[in-house]
Structure 1
Amino acid sequence: MNDYRVDERGYYGAFGGAYVPEILRGAVEELQRRYVSILESAEFRREFDRLLRDYVGRPSPLYPAERLSEKYGCRIYLKREDLNHTGAHKINNTVGQILVARQLGKRRIVAETGAGQHGVAAATVCALMGMPCVVYMGKTDVERQRMNVERMRMLGAEVRPVVSGNMTLKDATNEAIRDWCAHPDDTYYIIGSTVGPHPYPDMVARLQSVISEEIRRQLLECEGRPNPDYLIACVGGGSNAAGTVYHFLDDPTVKILLAEAGGLGIDTPMSAATIHLGCKGILHGAHTLLMQDEDGQILEPYSISAGLDYPGIGPLHAHLFTERRAEVFAVNDDEALRAAYELTRLEGIIPALESAHALGVLPRVKFSLQDVVVLTVSGRGDKDLETYLKYMER
């Protein structure tokens, strides 16, 4: 049987590792030594479970989408991460990581954000714990996600717009790492996805695995069995996807379908479909699949979704793809927009643009009437209303 989880060196097959500057070596190695014991301690589990229940509002519902199911000829359940406090799955991870930071004695938090949901979640837990927070966000994303910027500021975080590169998620991550390098002793970097140096991809996946843990329990109640036939999730860096599939990785009867951002098409220069277009390289501390030119220079990604325009992919998902454990679809902007409006009109749920890419997989697959399909709605669409309205006016 294949092992799809991280090994003792921090690798998923050929992908992963910890490629960090010398100044961060001590901080990263301390985290590597201590994260498993912290996450598995009775004290952490007690506090984490309490906050997920009483603060985040878990478990999130597993909603049977009857009209959507009728259209696609199967039994579709929506895992409603959009109903969490702050409106997305990101809060699961930040609640866990702020507890880790506290255990490590850190006094200051930095984070990166694209669509702003991770930034809001980081600012939220920093407000809860009384810790200062600096969030780096590309200027392009600051302009298209204004509401989330104001939410972060209201929560007390300092939002620093990044004007280098494409002024999006990659560039925000660069600046957050630079800040961490300048303050390695007192600062903890809350990474928002299953990217970065080991142990971040594994730690984030473990914290998000509450999603698949609940899916198993909820499906048993709804369907009399814990495992679906299909799991569908969007993937940028990959945290909601990792959480969705975590407890099903070793069950080959569960098919994993992932949706990355096709942008204007993988045959154009305007795409963020890393798995389709990328090749092996190192970015932000990990060896993974990257969008890069023949000289190894990172290509600027494009997506209508601020949360999916990242030129890399988490090492777990790169491994799942190369091992053919997951099938990956490049869902273009127009397909995602149509899928978002379809869910809104059929079920009365406005999804985030990221989640809309997962919904865009449904027309691509031939399901049977007996198939049980679980699709994770990773966030709510309030933040994307301006984009949706522009589309409707076309």
Structure 2
Amino acid sequence: MAIDLFAGAGGLSLGLEQAGFDVVAAVEIDPIHACVHQYNFPQCHVLAQPIEKVSGKDIRTLVGLTSEQSIELVAGGAPCQGFSLIGQRLLDDPRNHLVKEYLRLIKELEPTYFLFENVKGLTAGKHRQFLEELIRSLETLGYRVVQPWQVLNAKFFGVPQSRERLFLMGAKEGEALPHYPVPTTSQPITCGEALGDLPDAELFRELIDSDEVDFIYPQPLGNYGAMLRCLSREAWQWGYQRQWDREKLTNSIRTNHSDRARQRFLETAPGSIEKVSRFLKLSRHGIANTLRAGTDAARGAFTSPRPIHYQFPRCITVREMARLHGFPDWFRLHRTKWHGARQIGNSVPPPLAYAIASAIMAASRYTPQRPNQVLTLGDPQLLKTTMSTASHYWGIEPPIQKRNRRNRDLPAHRSA
């Protein structure tokens, strides 16, 4: 079994599940993200709380584990932002308190293995000192850290996107150490392969106000499309199958671009940057740039910079972002563009998460088994929450009391 800290909507959780882990608990402070996680992982216990308020005992009690029962893996990507004065420990910087909370839960839960994921920038400049300090702290807790650590690019693991992330992993003293996964693809999946069987969202009037519409899909263009549409049992890997409507296009609410913006998009060459919006125009035969999350309300509520479609004069939809990130079509994000795009941009691409989780599984004492149970996804209302309704659902105070820009809880048509 595995615990996912800083879980977001569940990109890492999905990769862990696909590798054979039962993700029994997830911790996520954002109540909207927590709702989406609950929808997609109905058997997982979600704690929509600040990690500072969660103890190892809380997690064990929630999932029904005694102190003697072992947890195989604790995984998570704690944000770390601090710089230090000379002589000051970087882990003591208040801005890095979330990493200290991650370490605290490793100490309290005592998993056999740990996985720590973060941005590549942690390996350079002043942040390198922080990384070395983090490794020493893990060693002090009784863990061997796999060395040398590696930065992995999702494009080499079946994702049509260049996205580099640092992964630290290790095991308790006396346990077998995992090995970093080797690239699974020498020729990256292209944007055309990823998006070619999806229709132009602007053909459907229903998608002006809704994020879903009935749609009969054509044949997929290749193995990637077939995998994300789950057309075979093997596409589910070692994870649970879900009951879902295969004849529905989801997470595809339209964007109301101005005519001037559309003309600029048409005039922009594939693979280049549009001069006003500064958005990348995708190339049918290339891969996507790193999909980013934008900012949350506390930092200005700036929308994710979604790329321009290689064929249509518009920014790509959230579903198209999900395809470029490796999320299968049954996986749902929040219905709004702002929250949905942010959930993708903040997540680990599931195929990359699957690759590294499989390496940990291979080192463990367990052999993954395909479950026979088919899960029913959660209440669709979980995909439509505002900050206030999501907080009410979890019985907590809204973590963000005021938006710095217009209220993004409501679907809006934003002109580029």
Structure 1 length normalisation: TM-score? 0.28
Structure 2 length normalisation: TM-score? 0.27
> Greater helix percent: which structure?
1
